[in-house]
Amino acid sequence: MKFNWTSDEATTLGITFTNNEKDTVLKNILLKLQNFKNCLKSWHHRKLTLIGKNTVLKTFALPKLIYVLTVLPNPPNDVINDIKSAIFNFIWDGKPDKIKRTQLIQSVENGGIQLTNIDSFLNAIKCSWVKIYLDNTNTSKWKLFY
């Protein structure tokens, strides 16, 4: 649908929408990305184990990005790489990786710590909408919008 906006941007439910989709994504994700990095920075000075750092990531940092990543299209690759870089800088205290990244995302049974894989995480978030839409027991009005 074509909408005619009355202004350059509008904000609803914490998301700022602009006339340009790319600007909308960047305007919202960059603010949340800064909050994400600030959260990691506040935990950086503590002496945490790998499992502790993984817990901090999953409990405090990643939830700052979930809402924006759920509602908006995926951000550009440079933003995704910035998120990955922030995660691994936090995990390894800014030093080079000591364990392969692909190993860290493995299950504990396979020798990993179940670190969140951002690429899979983004795909899973988007796929969750498909599951909700195809659920016949959910008769919400928003389904009529499509």
**Using CB atoms within 10 A of its CB, is residue 146 exposed (0-12), middle (13-18) or buried (19+)?**
exposed
- Residue 5 binned pLDDT confidence (cut-offs 50, 70, 90): low
pLDDT digits (tens, 9 = 90+) for 80-98: 999 999 999 999 999 999 9
- The size of the chain, in residues, is 146
| pTM of the predicted protein model | 0.82
φ, ψ at 9 (rounded to 5°): -150, 155
Does residue 59 have a pLDDT over 90? yes
State residue 20's pLDDT score: 83
Residue ranges of the domains in the chain?
9-145
